[in-house]
Structure 1
Amino acid sequence: MSIQLSLEQRNSVLHNMATLVHQKSELIINANQKDLDAYSGNDKAMYDRLEVDQNKIKGMISSLQQLTELDDPVGVERFRFVHDNGMKVTNKTASFGTILIIYESRPDVTIEATGIAFKSGNKILLKGGKESIHSNLEIVKLWHQALSENNITTNWVQYLNYNRTETQAFLEKPTQKVDLIVPRGGEKLIDFVKTHATCPVIVSGRGNNFVYVHKEADRGLALDNIINGKTDKISACNAIDKVLIDKNLPNKEDFVRNLITTLKNYNVEILGDESLSKYEEVKQIKADSVWYEEFLDYKIVLGETESNVDAITKINQYSGGHSAAIITRNKKEAESFMSSVDCAAVYHNASTRFTDGFQLGLGGELAISTDKLHQRGPIGLQHLVTNKWYIHGDGQIR
């Protein structure tokens, strides 16, 4: 672990990095174009996550700027106690030390995750996917420039340009101390890391998010919510894959037909349970296993449900534990739904697309955890710390 940097030093690096990303945006985009040209797959979600345009550059800069404005998460007092013998005891937040993030295709993670880890006093090891190598290395160059301009060693940010075999070897027997690993990607990546890692792992798991249209829903609001959640960004883990519609929704037939027509306008493939597959444009699901799937595509499942309790039960059985929303005018039913659904983020009359560290005021995110320890949901600045006990005495012995 390196000697802890002051808040002023950390903020200065982040400020410099925001300036460099603005100044060197064309270099980043040109490097990214090499990655896009080399990408030979047909995964639309992967391509979307891989691409860097001016909007993503603006997002990178905004994330860095928001981080500089946030309070220092290190050294925050959590507990104070004076012992009978006069010892003064405090418990304060402390940096983890070194964090390894293993991620696929998203060059913006090289900005966001590094910024959050660095601001919270952690050294970060970055292991990106081969599909984004040019983009990642260009961004890491800028991190090293920002560090050097502040007379800080570039060891705070390291890129591990390893293949799968080298990565496995590092996970099983790290060549340097690693205090925490965060895999951010598909289920195969997560399983690979969990199988081979020899230090704590926080899982950034699958989405498979649900919207429940309650019988007292505002139908226009429900339609807008579903369309936004499904079509705004199909590659996002906070996108919607499943919709449950209360069978007692007034004018349900009109709502369903309007929803189907609108989804079809966005070229969304629609699957449905037995009750909703009667519509010509809806294919009946062939197996219940589809309820478990995260699509990351223009694909959605519609189902009918008996009640709030029925919706909660189904979501808790099939969802990825990421995000779920209820659309209703009934605040009591909304509170029941939100307290009972076992997801990291629960919504009332709002889109699940807001499950994002930057959108929720965290200055970005390292990942979105579907674990319950030590942090659930977006892992932001204040979550990348552990704690430490400080005891001051004047000769006490036990």
Structure 2
Amino acid sequence: MNTLLSIAKRNAVLSRMAELLEQERANLKSINQQDLNNYSGEDLAMEKRLLVDDAKIDGMILSMQQLASQEDPVGVERFHFVHDNGLKITNKTAAFGTIMIIYESRPDVTVEAGGIAFKSGNKILLKGGKESLLSNLKIVSLWHQALTANDITIDWVEYLNYNRAETQAFLENPTQKVDLIVPRGGEQLIAFTKKHATCPVIVSGRGNNFVYVNKEADLQKALDIIINGKTTNIGVCNALDKVLIDSNLENWEDFAKQLVTELQKYKVEVLGDTAFANATQAPAITNEEIWYEEFLNYKIVIGIVNSDKEAIAKINKYCGGHSASIITTNDAIAQEFMEQVDCAAVYQNASTRFTDGGQFGLGGELAISTDKLHQRGPIGLQHLVTNKWYIYGEGQIR
């Protein structure tokens, strides 16, 4: 087991990492360009996630600086009790030990997720995708420089350059102790990890997020929120895939037509259920199973419901348990919707694109969990801990 590094040491490594990313900015971009050139380009969302440009590097640097300035998540007292017999019993947060992160195509994860795991006192095993290998190896070399500069052994951050078969073998029979695995990527990666892992897995699940336009919606807000959720970044789990419109909305057909027109300006493929297709001449869906799909593409499905209750039931049946938003000026209806929809994040009059550790004030995230154990939604620094009981006695026996 790794001895816990002092918070001063952990912060010094993160601060040094921020400096190195700035110094190596040009190198990192040119190495990333090689990864981009090697990539076949068949998946638009994948390519977007693979790119490292100045904005991405700025984000990486900011995340290191923010992490370095945050409170130590380890050793925080969560419960205190003095027994009748004088035993002093305390529960405190503790590091997991070793955390393995499995991810695809996003070199920024090598920095940000690595930083969150390291700040919370853990050794990190990084298993990135082959498409971003050169970028990842470059970033890991910076981690090693930052560790070495602070007289810390480089095995605190390890890159596992494994193919699929080697990864499976490691998951089933790890060559070193692993306490927690966090897969970040598509449903196939998550299913693969859950199937083969021999230790706990935090599932960073699929999106398939919904917006429900209630009969008391501000329609301009509804339009802006839907366009934002669908078009600003198609390759992320907080993007929007489904819209439900209340048939009790006055002149809903006019709003539906306007929505199609706006979405088509962004080259979004719009499909509808029978009622929506009839009202707008948009193509109708041919299979109800499409309601379960996460698109990660310029594609959206829109349906008509006859009540709030029907909307809630439909969302709970089909969504990925990630994010759902109601557009309404009626706060009581919104509150009921938010309490009854079974998602990690529920919104009133805002875009699902905000489901993100940085946006929620966590200073970044390791993953967005759609599981209910042990933390739901964005997993920040504060959540990447387990806990431990400390009991101080003077010879008490039971």
Task: Return the TM-score normalized by structure 2.
Answer: 0.98
Report the equivalent of 2:134.
Answer: 134
Report the equivalent of 1:320.
Answer: 320
Root-mean-square deviation (CA, aligned residues, Å) is 1.0
Report the equivalent of 1:95.
Answer: 95
* Pairing of 1:58-97 with structure 2 (within 5 A): 58-97=58-97
TM-aligned CA deviation for residue 381 of structure 1 = 0.3
**Following the alignment from structure 1 to structure 2, what is the Cα–Cα distance between the partners of residues 310 and 65?**
46
Per-residue deviation, residues 156-198 of structure 1 (Å, max 9, x unmatched): 1100001111111100110000000111111111111111111
SS in 2 for 1:210: strand
**Following the alignment from structure 1 to structure 2, what is the Cα–Cα distance between the partners of residues 190 and 28?**
28
* Pairing of 1:1-398 with structure 2 (within 5 A): 1-279=1-279, 282-398=282-398
**Following the alignment from structure 2 to structure 1, what is the Cα–Cα distance between the partners of residues 283 and 66?**
45
Moved more, 268-277 or 57-66: 57-66
**Following the alignment from structure 1 to structure 2, what is the Cα–Cα distance between the partners of residues 310 and 61?**
45
Residue pair 1:17, 1:142 contacting (<8 A) in 2 also: yes
Letter in 1 for 2:150: N
TM-aligned CA deviation for residue 84 of structure 1 = 1.9
Letter in 2 for 1:295: F
Task: Return the TM-score normalized by structure 1.
Answer: 0.98
Letter in 1 for 2:60: M
Letter in 1 for 2:352: T
Q: Percent identity?
A: 69
TM-aligned CA deviation for residue 66 of structure 1 = 1.5
TM-aligned CA deviation for residue 302 of structure 1 = 0.7
**Following the alignment from structure 2 to structure 1, what is the Cα–Cα distance between the partners of residues 292 and 350?**
23
TM-aligned CA deviation for residue 281 of structure 1 = 5.2
SS in 2 for 1:278: helix
Letter in 2 for 1:43: D
SS in 2 for 1:40: coil
SS in 2 for 1:275: helix
Residue pair 1:270, 1:281 contacting (<8 A) in 2 also: no
SS in 2 for 1:102: strand
Letter in 1 for 2:379: I
SS in 2 for 1:137: helix
SS in 1 for 2:20: helix
TM-aligned CA deviation for residue 280 of structure 1 = 5.6
Letter in 2 for 1:34: Q
Letter in 1 for 2:34: K
Gaps in structure 2 of 5+ consecutive residues: none
TM-aligned CA deviation for residue 349 of structure 1 = 0.6
SS in 1 for 2:198: coil
Moved more, 14-23 or 123-132: 14-23
Per-residue deviation, residues 97-154 of structure 1 (Å, max 9, x unmatched): 0000110111110011011001111111000000000110111111111111111111
TM-aligned CA deviation for residue 254 of structure 1 = 2.4
Moved more, 25-34 or 109-118: 25-34
Residue pair 1:36, 1:50 contacting (<8 A) in 2 also: yes
Residue pair 2:103, 2:129 contacting (<8 A) in 1 also: yes
Residue pair 2:97, 2:122 contacting (<8 A) in 1 also: yes
SS in 1 for 2:73: coil
Letter in 2 for 1:122: N
TM-aligned CA deviation for residue 257 of structure 1 = 1.6
Moved more, 155-164 or 253-262: 253-262
TM-aligned CA deviation for residue 397 of structure 1 = 2.2
TM-aligned CA deviation for residue 251 of structure 1 = 3.1
TM-aligned CA deviation for residue 279 of structure 1 = 4.8
